[in-house]
Amino acid sequence: MGRFRIALAQMNLTVGDLAGNVAAMAGRLEEAWDAGADLVAFPELAIPGYPPEDLLLKPAFVDANLKALRELAAKTRGTAVVGFVDRQADLHNAAAVVHEGEVVGVYHKQRLPNYGVFDELRYFQPGQAATLYRIAGAWVGVSICEDIWFPGGPVAHLALAGADVVVNINASPYHRGKWRHRHQMLAARAADYGVSLAYVNHVGGQDEIVFDGDSCVFDAAGELLVEARPFEEELLLCDITLEQTFRARLHDARHGHVPERRTVERKNLSEQPSRRTRPPLPARPAWRHDDLAEVYRALVVGTRDYVRKNGFEHVVLGLSGGIDSSLVAVVAVDALGADAVTGASLPSRYTSEGSRADAAALARALGIELETLSIEESFQVALRTLEPAFRGRAPDIAEENLQARLRGMLLMALSNKFGWLVLATGNKSEMATGYATLYGDMAGGFAVLKDVPKTLVYELARWRNTQGRAPLIPESVLAKAPSAELRPGQRDVDSLPPYEQLDPILERYVEGDLSYQELVTAGFDPDIVKRVITMVDRSEYKRRQAPPGVKITPRAFGKDRRLPITSRYRDA
């Protein structure tokens, strides 16, 4: 029965760049053809980019996407599976099967996710039908993302109707460790249905989400055959042994079940295996996943794509000498290059000499420009201006936040003058508890660490320090107690529980939706739990005004977690 060569085009595409996406895909088509591929598969909604969101409410956008599909089809030699938006009576998240210059079939996604960052029921109607295509001697079925993530459904129908290979095109956003669940799921589906599964995913950043790729092929026994490098564009080639699938089908009494066969149409595109001379594929060792490395890579790719795809050439950030701004600066340089990053040291009367020295040392190590703009004079002017209104009241958080807002003002002035994008430096622990100043350190166009808890910030910084010839972030930054330095002797633990206690509670409350009682039962201190829950609930209005940032946890603030600002429900 021979081998079936499939090419998975793991690509970094851009929402709305129809011409650019088609041009990039056409290049991959030629590359796959030259490599002897029988079929090339592109990710979900590859032509319009994912997620197109309310662009789908513009009929002209949908029409332009259909025109782009026809243009790509005309460039196609051989056979391809292409994600696009179809318009019948309703809109559908669709996959076109293109063969020798023509669209010969269309599949409509049947399971539409409507949770987390997904909002597909807002735009699409589910499909009903499925088709098997005879391609180079193999029976190939097509499915889209969610169709495969749960047992049964269209993938089961295709497999039991006789599919040798099921192609699953995806737009599956990254979060830490997701590859484990993804591989377990794909291995289970392949083994359960006795079919080879080819999974292709986007790579790159789109607003706050980032795609890791992780395109891969599993054989009919549930064994991983090949896997693409995460966070990189790649044309992944794999030879699938059809004999293995055929043998699995012979030993499975479910195959050939008449009702299943009747629900699946068949189209014969190319009966015989390809006779083209095909270069042999080199052996690929299994990819060794490293969670910390992949989180860091997600931050780099998400930052680079947000900056570049939105037309910025340069970024600026406040470089305080603290751990958060230090990590953001390193990520920015890794993403954009030192010439595209400026640090701004914005000292006040409370800024320690150690912090100033740490900021300067980091700037030298990174090779970035460091502007020093003291806020002291502006702070004094502001205090004098406010003196009549503040008379008789002791200094408190108002004076502290005033310093943060002056820093935000100066950073935004640099942004306006030079066209730079401001990178905010707050982390998830601060965003969760409200320990961040609205219009101050929350000011900016992109928040690199928005979904990174403080304890993970330290882990990532230490990891990054091991990756070069010499550490970039000074050891003194890692060793000193975290402080906003807005009053004498200030430390974060004056206002927050220690991060080692805080972050596990936040993870369970924000990402896991555990209640006060469940957290206490799990062993957390009742008073700390109540305090943390109260801070989180009261800070929703701040988070609504925060800039977007890279999603790296299963539940990030923003689209993932949508709570009302005005609410009298209290869990504690």
Catalytic positions, written as ranges = 44, 109, 145
Distances (CA, A) of 28 to 6, 15, 281, 303, 421: 13, 18, 17, 25, 33
DSSP bridge pairs for 9: 235
Residue type, 533: I
Whole-angstrom distance, CA of residue 496 vs CA of residue 498: 6
Rounded to an integer, what distance in angstroms lies between the CA atom of residue 375 and that of residue 403? 7
Vertex 145 angle, CA 141 and 147, to 5°? 65
At 224, phi and psi to the nearest 5?
Answer: -70, 125
Decide: 503 and 494 in contact? Cβ < 8 Å. Answer: no
CA-CA distance, 69 to 21, in Å (whole number)? 10
Residue tagged 């960052």 (tokens): 117
Strand partners, 422: 316
SS3 content of the chain, % helix, strand, coil (to 5): 40, 20, 40
Helix (H) or strand (E) segment spanning residue 55: none
Q: Where are the alpha helices (DSSP H) in 391-443?
A: 397-418, 428-433
User: Residue 508's CB: how many other CB atoms inside 10 A?
Assistant: 17
Alpha helices in 105-262 (DSSP H): 146-149, 153-160, 178-193, 242-250, 258-262
Round to whole Å and give the CA distance between 458 and 298: 16
Sign of the alpha-carbon dihedral angle for 538, 539, 540, 545: positive
Whether 520 and 526 have beta carbons less than 8 Å apart is answered as yes
Of 398, 351, 402, 399, nearest to 374 by C-alpha is: 351
Q: In what order do the strands lie in the sheet with 234-241?
A: 102-108, 91-99, 79-87, 39-41, 3-10, 234-241
Dihedrals phi, psi of 39, to nearest 5 degrees: -155, 140
* Rounded distance between C-alpha atoms, residue 443 and residue 490, angstroms: 22
CB 112, CB 122: distance < 8 Å: no
Distance CA 316, CA 368 (A): 10
Query: Using an 8 Å Cβ cutoff, are 316 and 422 in contact?
Result: yes
Cα 65 to its chain centre, rounded Å, is: 23
Provide the 10 A C-beta neighbour count for residue 87.
Answer: 15
CB-based contact 117:560 (threshold 8 Å)? yes
Residue type present at position 88: Q
